[in-house]
């Protein structure tokens, strides 16, 4: 399971298309994507929802990676739960937070 989290109201079209391509490239995984609307051509292995229980998802052992805009809460929650982050910062402090969390998560198998 892979979780996307975003508080951004409008995701740029290019980024939306990139995310859809990413989901299509990994059909063996289930993606949970927080988005206020379902983009066209959303693959069947993606669940789009306006709200996600982020803490619950990040603490679930089935979550393999968190694709995040690197908001402060999501960054702390992913580090606390040992979930690797694929950082996709969009603006403001997200760029700084993404740089700060790089290399901070250690996975125990």
Closest by alpha carbon to 34, among 23, 16, 43, 47?
Answer: 47
All structural domains of the chain with their residue ranges: 2-101
pLDDT at 101 over 80: yes
pLDDT confidence band for 91 (50 / 70 / 90): confident
Q: What is the pLDDT of residues 2-60, one digit of tens each?
A: 555 555 566 778 888 999 999 999 999 999 999 888 998 999 999 999 999 999 999 99
pTM: 0.77
Q: Answer with the residue of higher pLDDT: 103 or 16.
A: 16
In SS3 terms, the chain reads as CEEEECCCCCCCHHHHHHHHHHHHHCCCCCEEEECCCCCCCCCCCEEEECCCCHHHHHCCCCCCEEEECCCHHHHHHHHHHCCCEEECCCCCHHHHHHHHHCCCCCCCC
Task: Name the β-bridge partners of 33.
Answer: 4, 48
pLDDT at 71 over 60: yes
pLDDT at 105 over 60: no
Q: Show the tokens assigned to 45.
A: 């292995």
User: Residue 13's pLDDT is what?
Assistant: 85
pLDDT confidence band for 64 (50 / 70 / 90): very high
Residues 70/94, Cβ–Cβ less than 8 Å: yes
How many C-beta atoms surround the C-beta of residue 43 within 10 A?
Answer: 14
**Domain range 2-101, CATH architecture:** 3-Layer(aba) Sandwich (3.40)
pLDDT confidence band for 89 (50 / 70 / 90): confident
């Amino acid at each position: 399971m892979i979780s996307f989290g975003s508080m951004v109201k409008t995701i740029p079209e290019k980024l939306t298309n990139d995310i859809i391509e990413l989901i299509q490239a990994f059909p063996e995984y289930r993606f949970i994507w927080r988005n206020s609307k379902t983009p066209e051509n959303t693959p069947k292995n993606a669940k789009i929802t306006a709200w996600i229980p982020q803490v619950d998802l990040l603490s679930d052992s089935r979550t393999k990676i968190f694709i995040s805009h690197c908001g402060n809460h999501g960054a702390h929650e992913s580090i606390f739960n040992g979930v690797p982050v694929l950082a996709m910062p969009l603006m403001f402090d997200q760029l700084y937070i993404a740089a700060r969390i790089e290399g901070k998560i250690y996975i125990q198998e």
